[in-house]
DNA sequence: GATTGTATTGAACGCGCGTTCAGATAATCT
DNA sequence: AGATTATCTGAACGCGCGTTCAATACAATC
Protein backbone atom coordinates (compact mmCIF):
# COMPACT_ATOMS: atom_id res chain seq x y z
CA UNK A 1 0.00 0.00 0.00
CA UNK A 2 1.58 3.23 -1.06
CA UNK A 3 1.09 5.59 -3.92
CA UNK A 4 -2.52 6.03 -5.04
CA UNK A 5 -3.58 5.71 -8.68
CA UNK A 6 -3.90 9.07 -10.38
CA UNK A 7 -2.07 10.92 -7.65
CA UNK A 8 -0.31 14.14 -8.56
CA UNK A 9 1.44 16.88 -6.72
CA UNK A 10 -0.52 19.53 -8.60
CA UNK A 11 -3.76 17.98 -7.45
CA UNK A 12 -3.02 17.01 -3.86
CA UNK A 13 -1.30 20.29 -2.98
CA UNK A 14 -4.25 22.56 -3.72
CA UNK A 15 -6.66 20.09 -2.18
CA UNK A 16 -4.70 20.14 1.06
CA UNK A 17 -4.70 23.93 1.13
CA UNK A 18 -8.41 24.00 0.35
CA UNK A 19 -9.27 21.56 3.10
CA UNK A 20 -7.02 23.33 5.59
CA UNK A 21 -8.57 26.69 4.76
CA UNK A 22 -12.10 25.43 5.22
CA UNK A 23 -11.37 23.54 8.43
CA UNK A 24 -9.24 26.26 10.02
CA UNK A 25 -11.93 28.84 9.31
CA UNK A 26 -14.69 26.61 10.62
CA UNK A 27 -13.11 25.28 13.80
CA UNK A 28 -9.99 27.33 14.42
CA UNK A 29 -6.36 26.55 13.74
CA UNK A 30 -5.60 24.86 17.04
CA UNK A 31 -8.78 22.79 17.00
CA UNK A 32 -8.00 21.17 13.65
CA UNK A 33 -5.57 18.25 13.47
CA UNK A 34 -3.33 17.30 10.61
CA UNK A 35 -5.17 13.97 10.56
CA UNK A 36 -8.49 15.74 9.97
CA UNK A 37 -7.07 17.69 7.06
CA UNK A 38 -5.57 14.53 5.61
CA UNK A 39 -8.86 12.65 5.97
CA UNK A 40 -10.68 15.43 4.10
CA UNK A 41 -8.23 15.04 1.23
CA UNK A 42 -8.32 11.25 1.36
CA UNK A 43 -4.72 10.74 2.34
CA UNK A 44 -2.73 9.75 5.41
CA UNK A 45 -1.39 12.43 7.75
CA UNK A 46 2.22 11.76 6.82
CA UNK A 47 1.57 12.72 3.21
CA UNK A 48 0.84 16.32 4.20
CA UNK A 49 4.51 16.78 5.00
CA UNK A 50 5.38 16.51 1.33
CA UNK A 51 3.54 19.82 0.92
CA UNK A 52 4.32 21.75 4.05
CA UNK A 53 7.19 21.60 6.54
CA UNK A 54 4.79 21.96 9.47
CA UNK A 55 1.31 23.03 10.51
CA UNK A 56 2.11 26.68 11.18
CA UNK A 57 3.65 27.13 7.75
CA UNK A 58 0.51 25.68 6.22
CA UNK A 59 -1.48 28.43 7.95
CA UNK A 60 1.03 31.10 7.01
CA UNK A 61 0.94 30.10 3.33
CA UNK A 62 -2.84 30.43 3.32
CA UNK A 63 -2.74 33.88 4.89
CA UNK A 64 0.11 35.06 2.70
CA UNK A 65 -1.60 33.85 -0.47
CA UNK A 66 -4.80 35.61 0.56
CA UNK A 67 -3.10 38.92 1.19
CA UNK A 68 -1.11 38.71 -2.03
CA UNK A 69 -4.27 37.99 -3.99
CA UNK A 70 -6.07 40.84 -2.28
CA UNK A 71 -3.43 43.39 -3.16
CA UNK A 72 -2.95 42.04 -6.69
CA UNK A 73 -6.70 42.11 -7.31
CA UNK A 74 -6.93 45.69 -6.14
CA UNK A 75 -4.01 46.64 -8.36
CA UNK A 76 -5.76 45.02 -11.32
CA UNK A 77 -9.01 46.85 -10.58
CA UNK A 78 -9.86 49.66 -13.02
CA UNK A 79 -9.17 52.93 -11.24
CA UNK A 80 -11.90 55.52 -11.15
CA UNK A 81 -11.39 59.11 -12.19
CA UNK A 82 -10.66 61.26 -9.16
CA UNK A 83 -10.67 60.50 -5.44
CA UNK A 84 -14.44 60.09 -5.13
CA UNK A 85 -14.70 57.53 -7.92
CA UNK A 86 -11.65 55.77 -6.52
CA UNK A 87 -13.18 55.62 -3.10
CA UNK A 88 -16.37 54.17 -4.53
CA UNK A 89 -14.29 51.63 -6.39
CA UNK A 90 -12.52 50.65 -3.21
CA UNK A 91 -15.74 50.18 -1.25
CA UNK A 92 -17.34 48.01 -3.89
CA UNK A 93 -14.15 46.07 -4.54
CA UNK A 94 -13.51 45.29 -0.88
CA UNK A 95 -17.03 44.00 -0.30
CA UNK A 96 -17.05 41.95 -3.49
CA UNK A 97 -13.60 40.45 -2.97
CA UNK A 98 -14.24 39.53 0.66
CA UNK A 99 -17.64 38.00 0.01
CA UNK A 100 -16.03 35.64 -2.45
CA UNK A 101 -13.51 34.35 0.13
CA UNK A 102 -15.23 34.30 3.51
CA UNK A 103 -12.99 31.56 4.92
CA UNK A 104 -9.74 33.30 4.02
CA UNK A 105 -11.01 36.63 5.35
CA UNK A 106 -12.06 35.07 8.63
CA UNK A 107 -8.72 33.31 8.98
CA UNK A 108 -6.81 36.50 8.27
CA UNK A 109 -8.55 38.29 11.08
CA UNK A 110 -8.67 35.50 13.62
CA UNK A 111 -5.61 33.32 13.42
CA UNK A 112 -2.74 35.76 13.21
CA UNK A 113 -1.96 34.94 16.83
CA UNK A 114 -0.96 31.41 15.85
CA UNK A 115 1.96 32.68 13.81
CA UNK A 116 5.49 33.11 15.05
CA UNK A 117 6.89 36.67 15.19
CA UNK A 118 8.41 36.67 11.71
CA UNK A 119 5.40 35.23 9.95
CA UNK A 120 3.15 37.56 11.92
CA UNK A 121 5.16 40.59 10.88
CA UNK A 122 5.03 39.55 7.22
CA UNK A 123 1.23 39.38 7.18
CA UNK A 124 0.89 42.57 9.18
CA UNK A 125 3.04 44.40 6.66
CA UNK A 126 0.81 43.29 3.82
CA UNK A 127 -2.25 44.41 5.70
CA UNK A 128 -0.77 47.81 6.37
CA UNK A 129 0.13 48.04 2.70
CA UNK A 130 -3.50 47.48 1.75
CA UNK A 131 -4.76 49.94 4.34
CA UNK A 132 -2.37 52.58 3.08
CA UNK A 133 -3.90 52.38 -0.38
CA UNK A 134 -7.24 53.44 1.05
CA UNK A 135 -5.63 56.12 3.16
CA UNK A 136 -3.93 57.56 0.09
CA UNK A 137 -7.29 57.93 -1.61
CA UNK A 138 -8.67 59.73 1.43
CA UNK A 139 -5.68 62.05 1.63
CA UNK A 140 -5.87 62.88 -2.06
CA UNK A 141 -9.56 63.61 -1.69
CA UNK A 142 -8.86 65.78 1.31
CA UNK A 143 -6.16 67.71 -0.54
CA UNK A 144 -8.55 68.29 -3.44
CA UNK A 145 -11.21 69.54 -1.04
CA UNK A 146 -13.57 66.73 -2.03
CA UNK A 147 -13.40 64.81 1.22
CA UNK A 148 -13.10 65.72 4.89
CA UNK A 149 -12.06 63.06 7.34
CA UNK A 150 -11.00 64.16 10.82
CA UNK A 151 -8.08 61.70 10.62
CA UNK A 152 -7.36 59.86 7.38
CA UNK A 153 -5.49 57.00 9.06
CA UNK A 154 -8.32 56.29 11.49
CA UNK A 155 -10.92 56.84 8.79
CA UNK A 156 -9.33 54.21 6.58
CA UNK A 157 -9.27 51.69 9.43
CA UNK A 158 -12.86 52.51 10.30
CA UNK A 159 -14.03 52.09 6.72
CA UNK A 160 -12.23 48.77 6.30
CA UNK A 161 -13.65 47.44 9.57
CA UNK A 162 -17.12 48.48 8.51
CA UNK A 163 -16.81 46.88 5.08
CA UNK A 164 -15.24 43.68 6.35
CA UNK A 165 -18.14 43.38 8.77
CA UNK A 166 -20.39 42.50 5.84
CA UNK A 167 -18.94 39.00 5.93
CA UNK A 168 -20.40 38.38 9.38
CA UNK A 169 -24.02 38.76 8.33
CA UNK A 170 -24.31 38.46 4.53
CA UNK A 171 -26.01 35.28 3.32
CA UNK A 172 -26.37 34.31 -0.32
CA UNK A 173 -29.99 34.51 -1.40
CA UNK A 174 -30.90 36.71 1.58
CA UNK A 175 -32.84 39.95 1.70
CA UNK A 176 -30.21 42.01 -0.10
CA UNK A 177 -28.29 41.45 -3.32
CA UNK A 178 -24.58 42.06 -3.44
CA UNK A 179 -25.21 45.07 -5.65
CA UNK A 180 -27.61 46.55 -3.10
CA UNK A 181 -25.16 45.90 -0.27
CA UNK A 182 -22.52 47.77 -2.22
CA UNK A 183 -24.92 50.65 -2.76
CA UNK A 184 -25.82 50.87 0.93
CA UNK A 185 -22.24 50.85 2.14
CA UNK A 186 -21.07 53.29 -0.50
CA UNK A 187 -23.82 55.68 0.59
CA UNK A 188 -22.66 55.52 4.20
CA UNK A 189 -18.95 55.76 3.42
CA UNK A 190 -19.44 58.65 1.02
CA UNK A 191 -21.37 60.64 3.57
CA UNK A 192 -19.03 59.71 6.45
CA UNK A 193 -16.04 61.35 4.75
CA UNK A 194 -17.88 63.98 2.73
CA UNK A 195 -16.45 67.48 2.75
CA UNK B 1 -0.63 17.67 50.51
CA UNK B 2 -4.01 19.08 49.76
CA UNK B 3 -5.71 22.33 50.61
CA UNK B 4 -3.51 25.41 50.38
CA UNK B 5 -3.34 27.92 53.23
CA UNK B 6 -5.58 30.91 52.70
CA UNK B 7 -7.59 29.31 49.92
CA UNK B 8 -11.15 30.44 49.36
CA UNK B 9 -13.87 29.79 46.88
CA UNK B 10 -14.57 33.51 46.52
CA UNK B 11 -10.96 34.12 45.56
CA UNK B 12 -10.16 31.14 43.36
CA UNK B 13 -13.33 31.36 41.27
CA UNK B 14 -12.75 34.86 39.92
CA UNK B 15 -9.06 34.19 39.49
CA UNK B 16 -9.83 31.18 37.31
CA UNK B 17 -12.21 33.20 35.16
CA UNK B 18 -9.67 36.00 34.88
CA UNK B 19 -6.87 33.69 33.85
CA UNK B 20 -9.09 31.83 31.38
CA UNK B 21 -10.25 35.10 29.82
CA UNK B 22 -6.73 36.36 29.36
CA UNK B 23 -5.35 33.09 28.02
CA UNK B 24 -8.29 32.35 25.71
CA UNK B 25 -8.06 35.82 24.23
CA UNK B 26 -4.32 35.61 23.79
CA UNK B 27 -3.93 32.13 22.36
CA UNK B 28 -7.42 30.94 21.44
CA UNK B 29 -9.78 28.62 23.25
CA UNK B 30 -8.53 25.37 21.71
CA UNK B 31 -4.88 26.27 22.18
CA UNK B 32 -5.18 26.78 25.95
CA UNK B 33 -5.19 23.77 28.26
CA UNK B 34 -6.90 23.45 31.60
CA UNK B 35 -3.46 22.82 33.07
CA UNK B 36 -2.23 26.21 31.77
CA UNK B 37 -5.18 27.99 33.32
CA UNK B 38 -4.62 26.16 36.59
CA UNK B 39 -0.92 27.01 36.59
CA UNK B 40 -1.73 30.69 36.11
CA UNK B 41 -3.96 30.56 39.18
CA UNK B 42 -1.51 28.45 41.16
CA UNK B 43 -3.62 25.31 41.59
CA UNK B 44 -3.75 21.85 40.06
CA UNK B 45 -5.92 21.19 37.01
CA UNK B 46 -8.39 19.08 38.96
CA UNK B 47 -9.31 22.03 41.17
CA UNK B 48 -10.82 23.88 38.20
CA UNK B 49 -13.67 21.39 38.16
CA UNK B 50 -14.98 22.75 41.43
CA UNK B 51 -15.78 25.93 39.50
CA UNK B 52 -16.88 24.72 36.08
CA UNK B 53 -18.34 21.45 34.84
CA UNK B 54 -16.12 21.52 31.77
CA UNK B 55 -13.98 23.70 29.54
CA UNK B 56 -16.72 24.80 27.15
CA UNK B 57 -18.93 25.98 30.00
CA UNK B 58 -16.03 28.04 31.30
CA UNK B 59 -15.88 29.81 27.92
CA UNK B 60 -19.64 30.21 27.77
CA UNK B 61 -19.78 31.76 31.23
CA UNK B 62 -17.17 34.33 30.19
CA UNK B 63 -19.06 35.26 27.04
CA UNK B 64 -22.41 35.33 28.78
CA UNK B 65 -21.10 37.52 31.59
CA UNK B 66 -19.59 39.92 29.06
CA UNK B 67 -22.81 40.28 27.07
CA UNK B 68 -24.88 40.72 30.22
CA UNK B 69 -22.51 43.40 31.46
CA UNK B 70 -22.58 45.14 28.09
CA UNK B 71 -26.35 45.34 27.99
CA UNK B 72 -26.66 46.28 31.66
CA UNK B 73 -24.07 49.03 31.26
CA UNK B 74 -25.88 50.47 28.27
CA UNK B 75 -29.15 50.36 30.19
CA UNK B 76 -27.50 52.25 33.04
CA UNK B 77 -26.07 54.87 30.68
CA UNK B 78 -27.76 58.28 30.90
CA UNK B 79 -29.92 58.65 27.81
CA UNK B 80 -29.48 61.72 25.66
CA UNK B 81 -32.35 63.94 24.60
CA UNK B 82 -33.54 62.94 21.16
CA UNK B 83 -32.18 60.45 18.60
CA UNK B 84 -29.08 62.42 17.74
CA UNK B 85 -27.91 62.75 21.32
CA UNK B 86 -28.77 59.10 21.89
CA UNK B 87 -26.74 58.06 18.89
CA UNK B 88 -23.79 60.09 20.11
CA UNK B 89 -24.18 58.45 23.51
CA UNK B 90 -24.16 55.01 21.91
CA UNK B 91 -21.02 55.69 19.87
CA UNK B 92 -19.06 57.00 22.82
CA UNK B 93 -20.37 54.30 25.15
CA UNK B 94 -19.52 51.44 22.81
CA UNK B 95 -15.96 52.61 22.26
CA UNK B 96 -15.38 53.29 25.94
CA UNK B 97 -16.89 50.02 27.15
CA UNK B 98 -15.01 47.89 24.64
CA UNK B 99 -11.66 49.57 25.22
CA UNK B 100 -11.97 48.66 28.88
CA UNK B 101 -12.43 44.93 28.10
CA UNK B 102 -10.35 44.09 25.05
CA UNK B 103 -9.98 40.41 25.96
CA UNK B 104 -13.69 39.82 26.45
CA UNK B 105 -14.54 41.68 23.25
CA UNK B 106 -12.04 39.67 21.27
CA UNK B 107 -13.34 36.42 22.72
CA UNK B 108 -16.93 37.34 21.96
CA UNK B 109 -16.13 37.83 18.32
CA UNK B 110 -13.71 34.97 17.80
CA UNK B 111 -14.64 31.99 19.90
CA UNK B 112 -18.36 31.61 19.35
CA UNK B 113 -17.60 28.67 17.09
CA UNK B 114 -16.34 26.68 20.08
CA UNK B 115 -19.78 26.69 21.68
CA UNK B 116 -22.39 23.99 21.25
CA UNK B 117 -25.63 24.97 19.47
CA UNK B 118 -27.57 25.96 22.59
CA UNK B 119 -24.82 28.05 24.10
CA UNK B 120 -24.15 29.62 20.72
CA UNK B 121 -27.79 30.58 20.31
CA UNK B 122 -27.88 32.14 23.77
CA UNK B 123 -24.95 34.46 23.03
CA UNK B 124 -26.24 35.29 19.58
CA UNK B 125 -29.58 36.33 21.05
CA UNK B 126 -27.85 38.73 23.44
CA UNK B 127 -25.85 40.19 20.61
CA UNK B 128 -28.95 40.74 18.52
CA UNK B 129 -30.58 42.36 21.51
CA UNK B 130 -27.75 44.87 21.75
CA UNK B 131 -27.77 45.54 18.02
CA UNK B 132 -31.49 46.17 18.11
CA UNK B 133 -31.03 48.95 20.62
CA UNK B 134 -28.88 50.84 18.15
CA UNK B 135 -31.27 50.11 15.32
CA UNK B 136 -34.13 51.54 17.35
CA UNK B 137 -32.25 54.79 17.75
CA UNK B 138 -31.66 54.95 14.01
CA UNK B 139 -35.31 54.22 13.23
CA UNK B 140 -36.51 56.84 15.66
CA UNK B 141 -34.14 59.35 14.13
CA UNK B 142 -35.34 58.42 10.69
CA UNK B 143 -38.99 58.80 11.70
CA UNK B 144 -38.21 62.23 13.15
CA UNK B 145 -36.47 63.25 9.92
CA UNK B 146 -33.18 63.76 11.73
CA UNK B 147 -31.36 60.79 10.26
CA UNK B 148 -31.33 59.04 6.92
CA UNK B 149 -29.87 55.55 6.67
CA UNK B 150 -30.58 53.55 3.52
CA UNK B 151 -31.25 50.49 5.72
CA UNK B 152 -31.37 50.86 9.47
CA UNK B 153 -30.58 47.20 10.16
CA UNK B 154 -27.48 47.25 7.97
CA UNK B 155 -26.51 50.66 9.24
CA UNK B 156 -26.54 49.48 12.82
CA UNK B 157 -24.36 46.48 11.97
CA UNK B 158 -22.00 48.69 9.99
CA UNK B 159 -21.68 51.19 12.82
CA UNK B 160 -21.04 48.50 15.42
CA UNK B 161 -18.40 46.83 13.22
CA UNK B 162 -16.71 50.17 12.71
CA UNK B 163 -16.71 51.03 16.41
CA UNK B 164 -15.58 47.61 17.55
CA UNK B 165 -12.69 47.89 15.12
CA UNK B 166 -11.14 50.48 17.43
CA UNK B 167 -9.99 47.62 19.65
CA UNK B 168 -7.73 46.26 16.92
CA UNK B 169 -5.52 49.33 16.73
CA UNK B 170 -5.96 51.45 19.85
CA UNK B 171 -2.98 51.48 22.21
CA UNK B 172 -2.91 53.20 25.57
CA UNK B 173 -0.60 56.19 25.51
CA UNK B 174 -0.63 56.30 21.72
CA UNK B 175 -1.19 59.19 19.34
CA UNK B 176 -4.85 59.67 20.23
CA UNK B 177 -6.65 59.97 23.55
CA UNK B 178 -9.84 58.05 24.14
CA UNK B 179 -11.75 61.30 24.08
CA UNK B 180 -10.31 62.19 20.69
CA UNK B 181 -11.08 58.71 19.33
CA UNK B 182 -14.68 59.16 20.45
CA UNK B 183 -14.80 62.55 18.73
CA UNK B 184 -13.44 61.18 15.46
CA UNK B 185 -15.81 58.24 15.31
CA UNK B 186 -18.81 60.31 16.33
CA UNK B 187 -18.02 62.72 13.51
CA UNK B 188 -17.97 59.88 10.96
CA UNK B 189 -21.05 58.13 12.30
CA UNK B 190 -23.04 61.34 12.50
CA UNK B 191 -22.27 62.21 8.90
CA UNK B 192 -22.80 58.63 7.65
CA UNK B 193 -26.42 58.58 8.78
CA UNK B 194 -27.16 62.30 8.53
CA UNK B 195 -30.42 63.30 6.88
C1' DG C 1 -9.75 21.38 71.07
C1' DA C 2 -12.56 18.18 68.63
C1' DT C 3 -15.58 17.84 64.73
C1' DT C 4 -17.41 18.86 60.40
C1' DG C 5 -17.32 20.50 55.80
C1' DT C 6 -14.83 22.83 52.07
C1' DA C 7 -10.96 23.32 49.00
C1' DT C 8 -7.34 21.09 46.96
C1' DT C 9 -3.85 17.60 45.57
C1' DG C 10 -1.76 14.14 42.78
C1' DA C 11 -2.16 10.26 40.28
C1' DA C 12 -4.47 8.01 36.87
C1' DC C 13 -7.71 7.06 32.62
C1' DG C 14 -7.76 6.55 27.52
C1' DC C 15 -6.98 9.25 23.68
C1' DG C 16 -5.34 12.10 19.99
C1' DC C 17 -1.71 15.23 18.90
C1' DG C 18 2.44 16.85 15.37
C1' DT C 19 5.96 14.79 13.24
C1' DT C 20 9.29 11.21 11.28
C1' DC C 21 10.61 7.50 8.33
C1' DA C 22 11.44 3.03 6.15
C1' DG C 23 9.04 0.60 2.81
C1' DA C 24 5.81 0.11 -1.09
C1' DT C 25 3.65 1.40 -5.34
C1' DA C 26 2.43 4.28 -9.42
C1' DA C 27 4.01 7.40 -12.91
C1' DT C 28 7.62 8.78 -15.81
C1' DC C 29 11.86 8.56 -18.31
C1' DT C 30 15.40 6.23 -21.11
C1' DA D 1 11.06 -3.20 -20.66
C1' DG D 2 13.76 -1.71 -17.08
C1' DA D 3 15.37 1.87 -14.09
C1' DT D 4 14.33 5.94 -11.71
C1' DT D 5 11.68 9.21 -9.38
C1' DA D 6 7.58 11.05 -7.22
C1' DT D 7 3.98 10.06 -4.19
C1' DC D 8 1.91 7.86 -0.36
C1' DT D 9 1.24 4.34 3.52
C1' DG D 10 1.28 2.68 8.12
C1' DA D 11 3.41 2.32 12.18
C1' DA D 12 5.76 4.46 15.63
C1' DC D 13 7.80 8.37 18.81
C1' DG D 14 6.97 10.96 23.11
C1' DC D 15 3.85 14.10 24.84
C1' DG D 16 0.00 16.66 26.56
C1' DC D 17 -4.92 16.67 26.48
C1' DG D 18 -9.83 16.92 29.38
C1' DT D 19 -11.63 14.78 33.04
C1' DT D 20 -12.31 11.83 37.36
C1' DC D 21 -11.60 10.62 42.08
C1' DA D 22 -9.83 8.91 46.50
C1' DA D 23 -7.01 10.91 49.85
C1' DT D 24 -5.82 14.92 52.53
C1' DA D 25 -5.12 19.40 54.67
C1' DC D 26 -6.98 23.47 56.09
C1' DA D 27 -11.03 26.66 57.82
C1' DA D 28 -15.09 27.19 60.31
C1' DT D 29 -18.04 25.93 63.88
C1' DC D 30 -19.21 24.30 68.28
The H or E element containing residue B178 is: helix B178-192
CA-to-CA distance for B178 and B174, rounded, in angstroms? Answer: 10
* Tens of pLDDT, residues B150-189: 999 999 999 999 999 999 999 999 999 999 999 999 999 9
CA separation, residue B191 to residues A164, B158, B179, B188 (Å)? 20, 14, 18, 5
Contact positions of strand D to protein Cβ (< 7 A): 6-12, 16-28
For residue A79, pLDDT beyond 80: yes
CA distance B139 to chain A (A): 16
* Tens of pLDDT, residues B111-151: 999 999 999 999 999 999 999 999 999 999 999 999 999 99
What domains, with CATH codes, occur in chain A?
A: 1-52 (1.10.10.60), 56-192 (1.10.357.10)
Torsion of CA B53, B115, B74, B189, to 10 degrees: 160
* Tens of pLDDT, residues B77-121: 999 999 999 999 999 999 999 999 999 999 999 999 999 999 999
Nucleotide lying nearest to B47, CA to C1' measure: C8
Report the SS3 class of residue B133.
Answer: helix
Contact positions of strand C to protein Cβ (< 7 A): 6-12, 16-28
Which positions in chain A touch B178 (Cβ < 8 Å)? none
Nearest by Cα to B114 from A31, A18, A115, A194: A31
Q: Is the CB of A2 within 7 Å of strand D?
A: yes
CA of B47 to C1' of D20 (A): 11
Q: Is the CB of B4 within 7 Å of strand D?
A: yes
Task: Give pLDDT, residue B1.
Answer: 47
* Tens of pLDDT, residues A153-170: 999 999 999 999 999 999
Task: Give pLDDT, residue B7.
Answer: 63
DSSP state of A19: H
CA-to-CA distance for B72 and A98, rounded, in angstroms? Answer: 34
CA-to-CA distance for A64 and B117, rounded, in angstroms? Answer: 32
For residue A92, pLDDT beyond 60: yes
Amino acid sequence: MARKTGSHSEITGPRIRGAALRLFARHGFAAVSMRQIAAEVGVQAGALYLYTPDKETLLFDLLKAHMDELIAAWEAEPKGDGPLARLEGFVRFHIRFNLERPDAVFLSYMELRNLGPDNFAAIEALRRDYETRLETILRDGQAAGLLAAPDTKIASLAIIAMLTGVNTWYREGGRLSRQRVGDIYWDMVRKAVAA
